[in-house]
Structure 1
Amino acid sequence: MELRKAIKAASTGTIAPIYVCYGPESYFMKQLIDTITEQAIEPEHREFAVSKFDLQETPVEQVIEDAETLPFMVPRKIVIAKNAVLFTGAKDSGKVDHDVDRLAAYLKSPVDYSVLIFTVNADKLDERKKIVKALKDQDALVPCLPLLGDDLTRWVQDRAARLRFTLLPGAAEQLVLNTGGHLQALHSELEKLALFAGDGGQVSAQLVDELVARSAEQNVFLLIEDIVQLRLDKALTTLHELLKMKEEPIKIVNLLARQFRIMLQVKELVQQGYSHQQIASQIGLHPYAVKLADGQTRKYDTAKLSGILSQLADLDYRMKSGRIDKVLGLELFLLGLAAA
């Protein structure tokens, strides 16, 4: 079941008996669940007409029993079960054994007075499993995947319009970069910007940068930009700001490696004649982020970028094995990068 169709159908009162929401974008899961709840249950009844379970603590057969129990004083109820790892290929870290056959039996004849919703934070389900195949046959699988590229920019601009303010050119892209493109963070920051701008107001990219806290990924991007532009003092200042924010040095190394890996991919694809839009679609980035990464690569050749990635892999190993102080290792890496 495609996410937009599921939300649209639920908003008009057409609600399926079973949903399995999976993917990394929890914002969309919440949006679908909220839409179903608003349509299925009156506000005054939601406190006792919505049941919530954690499948790492509760067996799935107990969830089914709750779904089959007649609702109290309301015509319909909602049963939500999170951490449905049993639908994936991952090893369940919980100590609960699930009777999947009990769930399979329920799928053949679900009750009409309960809406059963499973959620799982996984990019994909294991379609080799019989239970997943059965759910797919019933069109119960709802992927909740991140928005990318122009789709994400349009989503930001659309939300700004609904909040009755305008994002000036470049502001939506800056907002995506500062938040890392996470929808829940974008939603919160847009509401904050709406209060600042007022009804009919305008927000520039500079204002976004002043008002919206940068993600760790964005700070690392700026750190690399300072190195590229030979602003070593500023790069070290950004590094120490990240450390003050309690960012783990090994995480910073991994983020640095991620950004240099993106730069290498962008450089190679640009050399092959790909446009920024095509590159964005291929590697799953926003076109604006690709444009900025392309600008950063111009002072590095492919061999140099590959060498930097090797240095970061070595630094990661030395940090984890205790062969070098983590902060000192990062500082020496940045000094070496600037010297080169």
Structure 2
Amino acid sequence: MSKRRNVFLLSGPENGDKKEFIRSLIAGAEKAGGAPPDRHRFYAFETPAREVVALLRNGTLFAPHVLIELHAAEEIKKKDELEALVEYIESPSDAATLVLVTDETESRVSKKIVTAVPPDNKKTFWEMFDNQKAAWVTAYLKRRGARIEAGAAEFLLELVENYTDDLAAECDKLALFFVDGAIITVDDIERYIYHTKEENVFTLFDDIAAGEFSDALEKLQTILLGAGGHPVQILAGIIWQIRRLYDLVELVHANTPVRDAMTKLNIRGKRNQATYSAALKRYDRTAVRGILAAAAECDAFLRTNRPALHAAALHNFVYRTMIRHGEPAATPAP
């Protein structure tokens, strides 16, 4: 077996499956060493690769093995950082495991890193297909002694980020209330998930729909500072809801009654329907089209500029959405 067996590159947006894979590496290291490994998590935009390599080389006095997760691997671009990391990958420590992690595709990571990691140790974790998600929720809850209506499963998927770790966390909450074969309905989802969840892209969209600009900025900042506050993913969650609003606007413009349009688009739950009704009144067809264009520009900016600028870009997008209704900011006269 290659000496590089303890270096991995995990790419793709499905963080739940990544965590499961990392847990398996931890269990393997503990079984081999007789004790849990010394674990560390770093982010490439905060911690230089040279510091990570030094820790991998030096090990620790408190555990037989060191396991390091280095996230945002796509941010490793400087020549000296790349050289230090590639040199380590080609001759790693037997007493350490390095897990390079990115939420992007493998192609966004430096080719030097990708080439150095053994082919068998490069794994991509994709989000489930849409037609698999409801079945996953149903099966997960069934294992915990609860059942869920098909419509309720779809509604849950609308409210929660569709990655397995996020879905599992919310399903675990539901399972606390519905055991012994109880059936979870749409109203139950609204009662136990919508009203109790932490700030996320859905509660942020509530404020965007209602025109509560100050509250929207405050929630955006809370999400950015919280766990999983990845700017690209935050924007993607907002875009998903705006596209849905656009579909609703188009149906209503074609003289479809609002209630029928919501049913056709599977907009379920009284609170969720109230949010889209408010947005429908506040943003017309022209505004929603402009907002989608602004979102595309913001997404391109986030993917091509350094992380230090991301928060400001998202704040500007919310301003352009809510205050300018998609129109670019006014340019001062010369």
Local SS of the residue matching 1:78: strand
Indicate if the aligned counterparts of 1:25 and 1:145 stay in contact, CA closer than 8 A. Answer: yes
Indicate if the aligned counterparts of 1:253 and 1:312 stay in contact, CA closer than 8 A. Answer: no
User: Where does residue 185 of structure 2 map in the other structure?
Assistant: 204
User: Where does residue 239 of structure 1 map in the other structure?
Assistant: 210
Change (3 A) 1:45 1:325: closer
Give identity over the alignment, percent.
18
Q: Map Cα deviations across residues 62-109 of structure 1 (whole Å, 9 max, x no partner).
A: 32232233553644331222222246xxxx6xxx76432333233333
Tell me the amino acid that sits aligned with residue 107 of structure 2.
L
User: Where does residue 285 of structure 1 map in the other structure?
Assistant: none
Structure 2 residue 77 is matched with structure 1 residue 60 = no
Structure 2 residue 90 is matched with structure 1 residue 108 = yes
Tell me the amino acid that sits aligned with residue 210 of structure 1.
R
Structure 2 residue 150 is matched with structure 1 residue 179 = no
> Residue 118 of structure 1 is aligned with which of 65, 85, 100?
100
Change (3 A) 1:84 1:24: same
Indicate if the aligned counterparts of 1:41 and 1:49 stay in contact, CA closer than 8 A. Answer: no
Local SS of the residue matching 1:125: helix
User: Where does residue 282 of structure 1 map in the other structure?
Assistant: none
| CA distance, structure 2, for counterparts of residue 158 and residue 85 of structure 1 | 35
Local SS of the residue matching 2:101: strand
| CA distance, structure 2, for counterparts of residue 105 and residue 216 of structure 1 | 41
Residue correspondence of structure 1 range 278-317 to structure 2 within 5 A: 292=265, 309-310=288-289, 312=291
Deviation at 1:185, TM superposition (A): 3.0
Change (3 A) 1:262 1:243: farther
User: Where does residue 133 of structure 1 map in the other structure?
Assistant: 115
Change (3 A) 1:264 1:100: farther
Normalised TM-score (structure 1): 0.58
Deviation at 1:190, TM superposition (A): 0.8
Structure 2 residue 20 is matched with structure 1 residue 38 = no
Structure 2 residue 20 is matched with structure 1 residue 20 = no
Deviation at 1:117, TM superposition (A): 0.8
- Greater Cα radius of gyration, structure 1 or 2: 1
Q: Map Cα deviations across residues 287-326 of structure 1 (whole Å, 9 max, x no partner).
A: xx99627999xxxxxxxx9756445469999x969x9994
| CA distance, structure 2, for counterparts of residue 60 and residue 306 of structure 1 | 48
Deviation at 1:264, TM superposition (A): 9.7
> Residue 69 of structure 1 is aligned with which of 53, 58, 62?
58
Local SS of the residue matching 2:85: helix
Q: Map Cα deviations across residues 140-180 of structure 1 (whole Å, 9 max, x no partner).
A: 22223322312222221222122221112322111101214
Indicate if the aligned counterparts of 1:127 and 1:133 stay in contact, CA closer than 8 A. Answer: no
Change (3 A) 1:76 1:175: same
Indicate if the aligned counterparts of 2:12 and 2:104 stay in contact, CA closer than 8 A. Answer: yes
Change (3 A) 1:237 1:254: closer
Normalised TM-score (structure 2): 0.59
Deviation at 1:24, TM superposition (A): 2.8
| Moved beyond 6 Å, runs of 4+ | 263-266, 293-296, 313-317
Structure 2 residue 73 is matched with structure 1 residue 84 = yes
Deviation at 1:56, TM superposition (A): 2.4
Indicate if the aligned counterparts of 2:10 and 2:101 stay in contact, CA closer than 8 A. Answer: yes
Indicate if the aligned counterparts of 1:24 and 1:122 stay in contact, CA closer than 8 A. Answer: yes
Local SS of the residue matching 1:50: strand
Local SS of the residue matching 1:121: coil
Aligned length: 258
Indicate if the aligned counterparts of 1:126 and 1:132 stay in contact, CA closer than 8 A. Answer: no
Indicate if the aligned counterparts of 2:106 and 2:114 stay in contact, CA closer than 8 A. Answer: no
Indicate if the aligned counterparts of 2:75 and 2:109 stay in contact, CA closer than 8 A. Answer: no
Change (3 A) 1:177 1:51: closer
| CA distance, structure 1, for counterparts of residue 107 and residue 39 of structure 2 | 26
Indicate if the aligned counterparts of 1:263 and 1:294 stay in contact, CA closer than 8 A. Answer: no
Local SS of the residue matching 1:112: coil
- Give the gaps of 5 or more residues in structure 2: 221-234, 252-261, 274-283, 298-314, 326-334
User: Where does residue 309 of structure 2 map in the other structure?
Assistant: none
Q: Map Cα deviations across residues 177-222 of structure 1 (whole Å, 9 max, x no partner).
A: 12142433322211111010124332122211222117645896xx
Change (3 A) 1:176 1:44: farther
